[in-house]
Amino acid sequence: MLSYANKPRSKQSDIRNELNEIKMVCAHHKALCQSFMQWKVDIDENDAQLKILNEAAMSLRKRHENIVAQLSTGPVDAKTMIQLENKIRKIEAQVNMWIRELAEINKARTKLEIEFVYLRSNIRLNTVNIEMANVDINRIELNYRQMRNDFLYNNDSNDNKLTL
């Protein structure tokens, strides 16, 4: 879509077409604002996912510390060693899952950051277009008033000529 601000305008352009273009600019701006609100919801969800992953990482660290503490107390019998090895395997599986989830969340975050830059620049451009549309509305209103005043002046002059 061409930017409203860059479209050439003739002095004799149809007012309806201009008003329709202005409506389209406003509708586009509304759609951009709705997209931005959805982006905000998505970024909040991403933040919540990161918080959950952080809590999982803290839990894994705690479990690791417990295993290290058990091993540092002294010699460990075979049964305890098997239990610790099982715990370590479970922790490794959770760490691998945590890393995959973190990569997915990070990828989503990167997409959200790119989307933010896109939305921000489009909203700024559209804001300029709305400002230009506002100037056009003022110009249309002034032209209408001038035409009306000219009409009233011409009719008043014609009425004066008829009464003489």
Q: How many domains does the chain have?
A: 1
Average pLDDT over residues 108-135: 89
Per the CB < 8 A criterion, the answer to whether 80 and 149 are in contact is no
Query: Could you tell me if residue 120 is inside a domain?
Result: yes
pTM: 0.61
Judged by average pLDDT, the poorest of 30-34, 56-60, 152-156 is: 152-156
Structural domain containing residue 123: 20-152
Q: Is the pLDDT of residue 55 over 80?
A: yes
Average pLDDT over residues 70-91: 86
pLDDT-above-70 percentage for the chain: 86
Of the two residues 156 and 19, the one the predictor is more confident about is 19
Average pLDDT over residues 130-150: 83
Q: Is the pLDDT of residue 1 over 50?
A: no
Query: Could you tell me if residue 158 is inside a domain?
Result: no
Query: Could you tell me if residue 96 is inside a domain?
Result: yes
Query: Could you tell me if residue 159 is inside a domain?
Result: no
